[in-house]
C-alpha cells in the first residue's frame, strides 16, 4: 500500500518539478523559514501531493519547497509527519521514500528536542551523533522491498561522520556554539515524565524528541547519507521546576532560527 502511495507521489512531483534534487533538508518546529532563502522556488503543499499524509501539527507549514542554493538543487520539507498523529511508521517516511526516488543523495534533518544532558541550555544546537529508539516501532517492519534496500539495514553509521565534520567546521567559522550527542526517540505526543528522562540519561541520551529516527532509518535503508541537528528548545521534564508546553518549543525554535539557518547554509555550500 505505501509503495503505491510513493509511486503516486513520485509521478505527481516528477511532472510538477524540473530539476532532480540532490539534497533533502527536513525542517522541524519553528525552523521552516530557511526554505524562503532558496532561489527559483517551487512550493508545493503536502495537501496537493497524492499519497502524502496530511499535516496536523501547529508550527509545521506542510510544504515541499524545491529550489537552488549555492548551485545545488535542493528540496526542503517544511514540517514532517509523526506516528503520534495516527500514522504508521511506514506512512511517516513516504515523503523521504519519494525524495529518494526523485534522486536525493544526502539528507539534512533538523528537529526540536528536549535537553537531557545537564550541560545543555535551551537554545543550544546539537549535532546528532547517534540515536536510541525507545518508541517500539520501525518503518522497515513488514515485508521488505529489495528495490528500496536490504532486509537487514546496517545502522552503524546512521549519521555520516564526514557530514558531521562539515557542521563542526561551519560552527567554528560562524562562531556558533555547537553541542554533540545522542538523540532518543519517544512516541509522544505527551512529553516524557521525569522518571523517563532519568532513564534516558542513564542509557546515554543527550536529548529526547518525537521524530527523526524513522526518517533516518528509511534514508539509511536506501544508502542515503544523513546529518542531523537538534535545536534544544527546552530542558526535559524534571530538569527545571516548570511544566513543558509546545509554545515554548516554537518560541525557542524561532529565537535560534537565524544561527540554525546560517549553519544549514554553510552545510549546503560545502556538501
User: Would you please indicate which residues are annotated as catalytic (active-site) residues?
Assistant: 29, 60, 82, 84-85, 112, 210-211, 234, 246
Count each helix (H run) and each strand (E run) in the chain, helices first: 8, 9
Q: Which residues are paired to 128 by β-bridges?
A: 181
- Tell which residue, 159, 72, 179, has the closest CA to residue 116: 179
- Tell which residue, 99, 97, 91, 76, has the closest CA to residue 26: 76
Distance CA 123, CA 233 (A): 6
Q: What is the β-pairing status of strands 125-133 and 225-235?
A: antiparallel
Are 13 and 102 in contact by the 8 Å Cβ rule? The answer is: yes
72 backbone dihedrals φ, ψ, rounded to 5°: -115, 145
Distance CA 217, CA 145 (A): 14
Are 44 and 14 in contact by the 8 Å Cβ rule? The answer is: no
Question: Buried (b) or exposed (e) across 33-58, using 16+ Cβ within 10 A?
Answer: ebbeebeeeeebebeebebbbebebe
Amino acid at each position: 500500500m505505501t509503495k503505491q502511495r510513493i509511486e503516486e507521489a513520485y509521478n505527481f512531483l516528477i511532472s510538477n518539478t524540473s530539476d532532480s534534487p540532490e539534497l533533502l533538508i527536513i525542517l522541524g518546529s519553528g525552523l521552516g523559514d530557511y526554505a524562503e532563502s532558496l532561489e527559483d522556488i517551487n512550493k508545493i503543499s503536502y495537501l496537493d501531493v497524492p499519497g502524502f499524509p496530511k499535516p496536523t501539527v501547529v508550527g509545521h507549514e506542510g510544504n515541499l519547497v524545491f529550489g537552488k542554493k549555492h548551485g545545488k538543487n535542493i528540496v526542503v520539507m517544511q514540517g514532517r509527519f509523526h506516528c503520534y498523529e495516527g500514522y504508521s511508521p511506514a506512512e511517516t517516511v513516504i515523503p523521504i521514500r519519494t525524495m529518494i526516488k526523485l534522486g536525493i543523495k544526502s539528507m539534512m534533518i533538523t528537529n526540536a528536542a528536549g535537553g537531557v544532558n545537564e550541560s545543555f541550555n535551551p537554545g543550544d544546537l546539537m549535532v546528532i551523533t547517534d540515536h536510541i529508539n525507545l518508541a517500539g516501532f520501525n518503518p522497515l517492519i513488514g515485508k521488505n522491498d529489495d528495490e528500496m534496500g536490504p532486509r537487514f539495514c546496517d545502522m552503524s553509521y546512521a549519521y555520516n561522520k564526514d557530514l558531521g565534520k562539515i557542521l563542526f567546521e561551519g560552527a567554528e567559522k560562524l562562531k556558533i556554539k555547537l553541542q554533540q550527542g545522542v538523540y532518543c526517540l519517544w512516541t509522544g505526543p505527551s512529553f516524557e515524565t521525569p522518571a523517563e528522562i532519568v532513564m534516558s540519561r542513564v542509557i546515554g541520551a543527550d536529548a529526547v524528541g518525537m521524530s527523526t529516527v524513522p526518517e533516518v532509518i528509511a534514508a539509511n535503508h536506501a544508502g542515503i547519507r544523513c546529518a542531523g541537528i537538534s535545536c534544544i528548545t527546552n530542558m526535559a521534564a524534571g530538569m527545571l521546576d516548570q511544566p513543558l508546553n509546545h509554545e515554548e518549543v516554537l518560541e525557542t525554535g524561532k529565537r535560534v532560527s537565524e544561527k540554525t539557518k546560517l549553519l544549514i547554509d554553510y552545510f549546503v555550500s560545502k556538501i
